[in-house]
Structure formats: C-alpha cells, structure tokens
Amino acid sequence: MRGLQGRVALVTGAGAGIGAAVATRLAEEGALVAVVDRDEAAAKAVAATLDGAVGIGADVADSAQVAAAVAEAAKLGDHIHIVVNIAGNSRPAMFKKMEEEAFQSVLDVHLTGTYRVTQAALPHLPEDGTGRILNTTSAAGLVGTIGQANYAAAKAGLIGLTKSLAKELARKGITANAVAPLAATAMTETVRTNPKFAEKQLERIPLGRWAEPAEVAGTYAFLASDDAAYITGQVLAVDGGTVI
C-alpha cells in the first residue's frame, strides 16, 4: 500500500481477532502501530511481534483511559495519521428480554467508544491529506439482526457517525470510512460453532465460509493508504457477499 511507511496508527481492540490482524498488516506495510486493548497483556503481546509498535492497555468505555492511550500513541511520531476503531463487545438477548444495562453497554463500547477515541485523537491527525479515520460496523448495522438489537443499533449508529465525520472533516483533508467485516473471531464463535446457528449462518454467506481475520485486514490497510485518498464516507462490506 502506498504511503504507510513511517505513519503512526492507533488501533483499538487490537489484542486479538480483527484488531490484531489489522495492527499486524499496518506494521507489515511500515506503519508504527499503537496496539490498544482493554487486556493490556494481550496488547503488549501483539505489539512485541511488530517492529516499532507499542502495546497500551485501555478500555474505550473509560474517557480517562482513552485520553492516556492517545497521548501514549502520539509519542510514536509527530502525528497520529490513522485511527482504527475496532474495539467491541457483545451482549445478545431477544429484545423483549434485553435489559437496559446490556443495551447501553454495547452502545457504550462500540458507538460511544468510537466517539471517545476519535475525538481524543483528532487534534493529533494531520491536515495534509494523510489523516484517516476507520470505523468498524457490520452487516447487523446495515440490515439488522435477531437477538442483537443493541449491537445492530450501535453498528448502524457508527455508519451515521462515519458519514458525518467524512463531511465535517473533508475540509481538513481527513477521510472517514467504515468497514463491515465478517470473520472467524471470538465474537462470532457462538454462531460458528453452535449447530443451532452455524448452518443457517453459512447459508447467508454466498462464498460459503467465514474469513480469517487476516483476510479482512487488507481492506483497512487499503483505506488507510494513499491509494484511498479520494475515498471518504463509504461503508465497505468485507463479508463474503452477505450484504449485496
């Protein structure tokens, strides 16, 4: 990817799964990566495998921890060029049984967490056309889902946030896009391994399989690169054709 060498990237939820894969791919492309995760040991373990990376423990649901993480990431260079919001959680339940705490918890991590990280990092983003904000939505945010109204609501909210950021920040040369991935991670383990759900879910994927996290990481790297400098406000589904 053009233009990633030496740029600083902050990736949340990067202790495992898609976040770790994205942090790894960006580092392979030459970026200096701040690997951020609520599990500090996991963040440091991933960072230890990457050249020029630093592992930071921070919960995106805590504003003070977010501010500290951004300040630490900013030490990697003159700017934070790339902000990748991947941190997430899951509290599934049918809507009639969903408790308010579970609904709010998912919004607080996915949607408000993205707000916290992006707002804290914004003063560090350059205004020379290299600033990138990459958010993570999903098919649930595009078409809804059964048993995860909280998750779908958060992911739909992220689409609106991304498009608004794209319009608001365009004048500063900063792009904002969202990726809607579908991959074999801890968050999808239940629907991948439970016989009650697994077969039906695979039937919804035209390519008939789950992606590995590394297969979707390249999309984030592309959108972070100079090759995507004229792309903003878009949602790119990387889901085997689930949403067409």
151 is catalytic: yes
* Contact (CB, 8 A) for 81 and 9: yes
**How far is 163 from 191, CA to CA, in rounded Å?**
30
Helix ranges, the chain (H): 17-28, 40-47, 63-74, 100-107, 113-121, 139-143, 149-169, 189-193, 195-203, 213-224
Alpha-carbon distances, residue 83 vs 51, 62, 93 (angstroms): 18, 17, 31
Quick one: CA dihedral 85, 90, 95, 98, positive or negative? Answer: negative
Which residues, including other chains, have CB under 8 Å from residue 148's CB and lie 6 or more apart? 90, 92, 140
The separation between CA 133 and the C-alpha centre of its own chain, rounded to angstroms, equals: 10
d(C-alpha 2, C-alpha 9), whole Å: 15
DSSP 229: T
For residue 235, the SS3 value is strand
Please identify every residue annotated as catalytic. Answer: 151
